[in-house]
Amino acid sequence: EDQVTQSPEALRLQEGESSSLNCSYTVSGLRGLFWYRQDPGKGPEFLFTLYSAGEEKEKERLKATLTKKESFLHITAPKPEDSATYLCAVQAGGANSKLTFGKGITLSVRP
């Protein structure tokens, strides 16, 4: 059974204080790993896809990396508007296989 564990459950940062969010996974035959952002009261919004170990993707202050066992979402010099819940999901098997989501990490950035 595919499993995704995200840590920590919640993270509070001061504006400008860089940090990383962790997503550990157990899956048979990783097809892809995906990061989503979810603002309170809204649906998740797709951020990144990572397909193979060593791959990195960047978007503004966010950088996602992937190893064979985990993924990190690095946040550099965060701003209050980066406050959200960040979800990690894995896809195993074929290109149209279902996603297994982690429980999410709630990030709060204080001004």
Q: How far apart, in whole angstroms, are the C-alpha atoms of residue 40 and residue 57?
A: 25
Candidate list 59, 69, 79, 103; residue touching other proteins; CB under 8 A: 103
Q: Is 43 in the site for other proteins (CB under 8 A)?
A: yes
Which residues lie across from 61 on neighbouring strands?
A: none
CB of 111 to other proteins, least distance (A): 27
Residue 41 engages other proteins in binding (rule: CB under 8 A): yes
Question: Closest approach of Cβ 61 to other proteins, in Å?
Answer: 21
Stretch that binds other proteins, among 21-29, 62-70, 74-82, 84-92 (CB under 8 A): 84-92
Our finding on whether 91 is near other proteins (CB under 8 A) is yes
Under rule CB under 8 A, residue 22 binds other proteins = no
Task: Tell me the DSSP string of the chain.
Answer: --EEEEE-SEEEEETT--EEEEEEEE-SSEEEEEEEEE-TTS--EEEEEE-STT-EEEETTEEEEE-SSEEEEEE-S--GGG-EEEEEEEEESSTTPPEEE---EEEEEE-
Binding positions for other proteins, rule: CB under 8 A = 31-32, 34, 41-46, 49, 87, 89, 91, 95-99, 101-104
